[in-house]
Copies of this chain bind each other. A is one copy, B any other.
């Protein structure tokens, strides 16, 4: 049995996950593989870039966020995936040594008209650094299975 079903994500529900330490090594390793722009790879080049110093690829931040979502609740949920991301905003650089926390807020929740076993939950995620500055936001409609009758008691 999953722990989290559609019914657990009511509008206004919030949760917080983390903190998750981000290391220089993983910033560079991710960038070398997926986003080899100098500002994500090399401190000297990064100083001269718009990041003003080494910072994680925005797609690395997305991966870190996804891992925090998985560990926070997704792997213990009746998740049915998400085919869309409405919006991603990278608001501040993610730096080596940052400790990130993730805040989840349910914006909307509605039962599926075509699939009675499923509901759609529109979620806003905000990733914060240790200074409580928002480094990234994402809004996504996620699909979750509905709680079976025997599990609702």
Contacts and interface: CB of A to CB of B under 8 A. Distances in A.
Interface of A: 30, 33-37, 50, 57-59, 62-64, 66-67, 70, 74-75, 79-91
Number of copies: 2
A50 B80 CA distance: 7
B88 A37 contact: no
Given A50-B81, A85-B87, A34 B57 contact: no
Query: Counting chain B CB atoms within 10 Å of each CB, which of A50, A59, A80 scores highest?
Result: A59
7 contacts: A30-B63, A35-B66, A35-B67, A36-B67, A37-B74, A85-B87, A85-B88
A81 to B, nearest CB: 5
